[in-house]
Amino acid sequence: MNTDAQLRFNRRKRPLSADGRLHDHLRGQQRKRRGARVLVPDCFLVPPPEAKSADFDMWDYIRNIPDRLRLDNGLRLLKGWVRASKDVPQDPSKDVPQDLAWGNGLRLLKDNDVKPGRVVVAGKWKVDDPVKVALKASAPREEAKPCWKDLHEKTKHNDKRLGEIPVKVDLLEKTLEEQRKKAEPPKEDLSQFFVPLTAEDEKEVQDCLYGNGSSSKVLVLHEPSNIEVSRGKIRCLRPHGWLNDEVINLYLELLKERGIREPKRFLKCHFFNTFFYKKLACGKTGYDYQSVKRWTTSRKLGYELIDCDRIFVPVHQNVHWCLAIINMKAKKLQYLDSLGGHDPRVSKMLARYIVDEVKDKSNKKIDISSLTEESIDCIPLQGNGWDCGMFMLKYIDFHSRGVSLSFGQEHMEYFRKRTAKEILRLRAD
């Protein structure tokens, strides 16, 4: 090897310390990346066959796998299943230039074409508990004395007219305070969302979820929709269960009846069941409007979708529940994923659907370019591998009321019990 080639070869090598060892800061990140690849064996990259069961318990499954895979209550394992089902990189923002990575891949998502069916994970969003934020903001603070008051005390003896300044300032502050109160939106009453269950309700729910009896025994029959929920089906509302179609669809029917019962209290919404998007997106060429054309006739619904404020579409991503919202008033398409993901294919599919639907039922034309896709980057996210279905239902519940998503992972156990109670009573509060 000649001298120049040897110099170029040696220039690519890392300089070593005097003892010939690499410093920890030079090899730590690389060692961490290698370790992350080894932590999840190939046998856990796909969901097990029992995950298709209606009473699948995620915690029972992860209890029998290595400790390192259940440190985060199966959250990392679920994310791996979702990514593997769509064959996408774990974090696309890590493989792009720094000037494109500032938005955790959101800017890259807008500027580049995405193949149909791919889910782009938008990174880790920091979501604060709105209740805690509100309490922190309302805490009393020690106010500093305005500097003009010190100057006024020192100079007011020079001119008597300076004594009028505090009176004028007080008058202006009162005027500004009145204007602020008028401009502030009314405070949301969150008490209705977290009403404690009575002792009678607790006993009924406990017996329903854990009591003895045949799992095939029908506990609830909703006659208008002909949905029946057996003891085995409703057990998915136990703390670690994955929600099934029957429980989700029955709860959506109860939300629909709630809106009809109290139209002034809730927005005018339409709730599609869990089979709608599967039917719409699973035609020979993907999009298939004809297969769902008869789902929304005026004779069945009594209204047209163009008259609704919001349309809710549950989306099942193989092993994970997400929610799509067609906001008819704001002309926006929203996608809420409790894992912080995004699927542009869903928005494109629903944009085409609502254009065809309005044209067919109302004989009106909607410009598809007027429907904007909104990325909601501040939503409550799940902290385990089994609460995605419950998060989706509460997204729908809160949005149908027109209020902010003021809940978090710590409320999921309560929401599971409350949902079981409402299903047993066939009435959503």
Q: Which amino acid type is present at position 256? A: K
Is 308 one of the annotated active-site residues of the chain? no
Given the residues 308, 343, 388, 411, select the one marked as catalytic.
388
Say which of 57, 337, 343, 387 is annotated catalytic: 337
Active-site residue flag, 337 = yes
β pairing state of 310-316 and 332-336: unpaired
Beta partners for residue 332, in sequence order? 327, 372
Contacts of 204 (CB under 8 A, 6+ apart): 421, 424
What is the spatial distance between Cα 339 and Cα 342, in angstroms, rounded to a whole number?
A: 9
388 labelled catalytic: yes
CA torsion, ordered 413, 414, 418, 421, to nearest 10 deg: 70
Non-local CB neighbours of 310 within 8 Å, separated by 6+ positions: 267, 269, 270, 325, 326, 327, 328, 329, 399, 400
Distance from first CA to last CA of the chain, Å, rounded? 81
- Return the biggest CA–CA distance within the chain: 93
Residue indicated by tokens 């809730």: 266
CA 415 to chain CA centroid, nearest Å: 15
Q: Give the integer Cα–Cα distance in Å for 76 and 70.
A: 8
Residues 247 and 229: their CA atoms lie apart, in Å, by: 7
The catalytic residue among 240, 270, 320, 399 is: 320
Residues acting as catalytic residues: 320, 337, 388
